[in-house]
Homo-oligomer: A and B are copies of this chain.
């Protein structure tokens, strides 16, 4: 209940503060009986090191921040869980920042308003621009970007190959004989060529072209945000506009869930009338009715890789290598929303891309 300092323990044990410190830190040269006596007093008094002081001294805190748009999005929630678990293995703890995808909030994070409180940053940017990371006020700590990427590789980056993932999803629909494949989730406002929406759209186009199908702009449904609500609204708009899709490729599972819901409202059979596929493989999709086909990124791998890369840069012993750009693996998981009731969660395609664990990765 009371705070106990090294000094208090030292006084009671009749030794110097440093000796107690040595015992606490398992320093080698401490006489066995001294160690035992000090340890006894430590336990008795319930000593806990003051991490603030330790951090000041050491110049590191053992805390990393995870900045992402929104925990309400199940993909980010699941990813956060994985990051927290991965960080644990490196002795790091995670501080969560919700940026709401707002540029100001993202800038704040990057400009280090948590200065010297965090050792590193894992961030899933939405609105940041390249120069934001290089400006004079910018980060002085290692950063790993997830998903979205921008500018030349100034920092580490982990993501699946979005174009390939989207292509795989679309190709799956094509293979099922669908010809009017709509996309849900375009973000035409965003000029960002590296944006997730842009890349996934690119994959869709590529798959269509490969299959000899036309790219029909009327089959492109834009959304203001990647959530269930807007997924449903976008599909409603699509249908009301008279586009008659026989399949929907949604840019993420959350949009797809919204789509499934709207199709149910309209009495449209999935996959009979319209097949649906998403990306992310959130747990929700595995239990949806019908179960949702999806492209499953290796979330645990992404988290592990991101944290490992950060940990490596935090380690003063390891020489600094240039920023890396890691492609995480993904896997097409076909379920009822494309295969129908006969589906038994077949892994149809396995992504070739592997996650090369960075050197020094724990486990």
Structural contact, B63 and A56, CB atoms closer than 8 A? no
Chain B residues with CB under 8 A of A286: 228
Asked whether A116 and B53 contact (CB < 8 A) given A71-B77, A140-B2, A289-B261, the answer is yes
Nearest-Cβ distance from residue A21 to partner chain B, whole angstroms: 15
Give the 7 A-B CB pairs with smallest separation, nearest first.
Answer: A77-B77, A48-B115, A71-B81, A51-B117, A50-B116, A52-B55, A52-B56
Q: Which of the residues B2, B61, B74 comes within 8 Å of A52, measured between beta carbons?
A: B61
Q: Which of the residues B1, B49, B283 comes within 8 Å of A115, measured between beta carbons?
A: B49
Question: Which of A89-97, A156-164, A202-210 has 4 or more CB atoms under 8 Å from chain B?
Answer: A89-97
Structural contact, B98 and A85, CB atoms closer than 8 A? yes
A114 at the interface (CB under 8 A from B): yes
A11 at the interface (CB under 8 A from B): no
Asked whether A84 and B96 contact (CB < 8 A) given A77-B77, A140-B1, A261-B289, the answer is yes
Nearest-Cβ distance from residue A9 to partner chain B, whole angstroms: 14
A232 at the interface (CB under 8 A from B): yes
Q: Which of the residues B85, B93, B260 comes within 8 Å of A289, measured between beta carbons?
A: B260
Per the bound structure, the CA–CA distance linking A49 and B112 in Å amounts to 10
Q: Which residue of B lies closest to A77 (CB)?
A: B77
Chain B residues with CB under 8 A of A104: none
Q: Which of the residues B46, B98, B287 comes within 8 Å of A228, measured between beta carbons?
A: B287
Nearest-Cβ distance from residue A344 to partner chain B, whole angstroms: 11
Chain B residues with CB under 8 A of A228: 283, 286-287
Nearest-Cβ distance from residue A280 to partner chain B, whole angstroms: 14
Asked whether A80 and B52 contact (CB < 8 A) given A2-B140, A140-B1, A287-B232, the answer is no
Nearest-Cβ distance from residue A194 to partner chain B, whole angstroms: 24
Chain B residues with CB under 8 A of A98: 81, 84-85
Contact size range, A: 35 or more
Per the bound structure, the CA–CA distance linking A289 and B93 in Å amounts to 38
Per the bound structure, the CA–CA distance linking A63 and B264 in Å amounts to 45
Chain B residues with CB under 8 A of A232: 287
Per the bound structure, the CA–CA distance linking A146 and B189 in Å amounts to 42
Which residues in chain A, 24-63, are within 8 Å of chain B measured between CB atoms?
A: 46, 48-53, 55-56, 61, 63
Nearest-Cβ distance from residue A119 to partner chain B, whole angstroms: 11
Q: Which residue of B lies closest to A257 (CB)?
A: B287
A136 at the interface (CB under 8 A from B): yes
Asked whether A289 and B288 contact (CB < 8 A) given A71-B81, A117-B52, A140-B3, the answer is yes
Per the bound structure, the CA–CA distance linking A257 and B289 in Å amounts to 10
Chain B residues with CB under 8 A of A216: none
A-B contact pairs, 9 of them (CB 8 A): A48-B115, A50-B56, A51-B117, A52-B52, A53-B56, A70-B81, A84-B97, A84-B98, A261-B288
Chain B residues with CB under 8 A of A138: 1
Q: Which of the residues B53, B85, B261 comes within 8 Å of A287, measured between beta carbons?
A: B261
